[in-house]
Amino acid sequence: MMIQIFNDSGKYIKKIKKAQRLAEYETAVDLVLRDLEMIPGAGFLPERR
């Protein structure tokens, strides 16, 4: 699951898993992308030096 590449994603995981409609899922994913930072070195961002 890609959510694991974000810091402090616990409550967001719940919202994504509980989504029963596409609009709810999209809203939850938008919140993740807006509110959380990717963990450096998780495969998508270069590690900070």
In this predicted model, what pLDDT tens digit does every residue of 19-34 receive, in sequence order? Answer: 999 999 999 999 988 9
d(CA 4, CA 1) in angstroms, rounded, equals 6
Locate 1 and state its tokens. Answer: 């699951």
Provide the pLDDT for residue 1.
61
d(CA 31, CA 27) in angstroms, rounded, equals 6
pTM comes to 0.69
- Count CB neighbours of 5 within 10 A: 17
Per-domain boundaries in the chain: 2-35
